[in-house]
Amino acid sequence: NAGVTQTPKFQVLKTGQSMTLQCAQDMNHNSMYWYRQDPGMGLRLIYYSASEGTTDKGEVPNGYNVSRLNKREFSLRLESAAPSQTSVYFCASSPPIRGDSYEQYFGPGTRLTVT
Amino acid sequence: QKEVEQNSGPLSVPEGAIASLNCTYSDRVSQSFFWYRQYSGKSPELIMSIYSNGDKEDGRFTAQLNKASQYVSLLIRDSQPSDSATYLCAVNQVGSARQLTFGSGTQLTVLP
């Protein structure tokens, strides 16, 4: 049981290049999330998917697109990378809601640098 | 005003002491509260969750929730150098579906 996995671990892009960050979970979770983490800013939600086939914008969606390929996989695409997108990107997943429980479990992260 | 606020620290405590981490939130009807630990260069790891007023203990960790005062805290007893990390508070806000709002974290250093 690998939990939440992300690829790649590190990436360097030039301004204007595109790339897709991959995320997969094997915990049969319904909901999946993409965050970025910048120094002093905490975790900010980019997009999330409450269930297979649905996606919604979070706090900072501009410059990103997502695809919920199936229940396991949720990808994040940067169409034209900008230096402001230099960050650490985390994918997370969450099991079906039980009562008030909304806990999320995180992948190892992708460190992206845009030059 | 940030929705979830934490003192950024750094907070330093000697080994064996109690570390106290605090978090306040703005949405009075928030329902679920979580503490995550994040080591440098690693991903956040869920260590505690609390849903009702009072204390919840798990080993050396105690989470305390006071909804009337809108704060949640984490106590770490018998602090160890391995507890040195950034601790993130997260809150689920009513109407936000399955979203969590995170504080910016408190950096804790336990001195040997």
- The 10s digit of each residue's pLDDT in B65-97 is 999 999 999 999 999 999 999 999 999 876 666
Closest-approach residue (CA) in chain A for B93: A102
Distance, in Å, from the CA atom of B66 to the CA atom of A102, rounded to the nearest integer, reads 19
Distance, in Å, from the CA atom of B31 to the CA atom of A100, rounded to the nearest integer, reads 7
Identify which has the larger pLDDT, B32 or B57: B57
Question: Phi and psi (nearest 5°) for A28?
Answer: 60, 35
Q: How many Cα atoms sit within 13 Å of A88 on the Cβ side?
A: 18
pLDDT category at A77 given cuts 50, 70, 90 is very high
Pairing of strands B61-66, B54-58: antiparallel
What's residue B61's pLDDT? 97
Residue B98 has pLDDT above 80, yes or no: no
Closest-approach residue (CA) in chain A for B35: A103
What's residue B97's pLDDT? 61
A16 — contact with chain B (CB < 8 Å)?
Answer: no
What does pLDDT average to over chain B?
91
Is A18 exposed, middle or buried (CB count within 10 Å of its CB: 0-12, 13-18, 19+)? Answer: exposed
What does pLDDT average to over chain A?
92
Chain B residues whose CB is inside 8 A of the A50 CB are: 97-98
Residue A65 has pLDDT above 90, yes or no: yes
What's residue A102's pLDDT? 75
Size of interface A-B (CB pairs under 8 A): 56
Which of A82, A71, A92, A67 has the alpha carbon at shortest distance from A112?
A82
Taking the CA of residue A108 and the nearest CA in chain B, the distance in Å comes to 5
What's residue A1's pLDDT? 72
User: Which of A26-35, A81-90, B76-85 has the weakest average pLDDT?
Assistant: A26-35
pLDDT category at A103 given cuts 50, 70, 90 is confident
What are residue A33's DSSP bridge partners? A48, A92
Chain A residues whose CB is inside 8 A of the B29 CB are: none
Question: Is-contact B66 B72, C-beta < 8 A?
Answer: yes
Amino acid of residue B31? Q
Question: Is-contact A36 B44, C-beta < 8 A?
Answer: no
- Measured CA to CA in angstroms, residue B48 lies from A25, A103, B64 at distances of 21, 10, 10
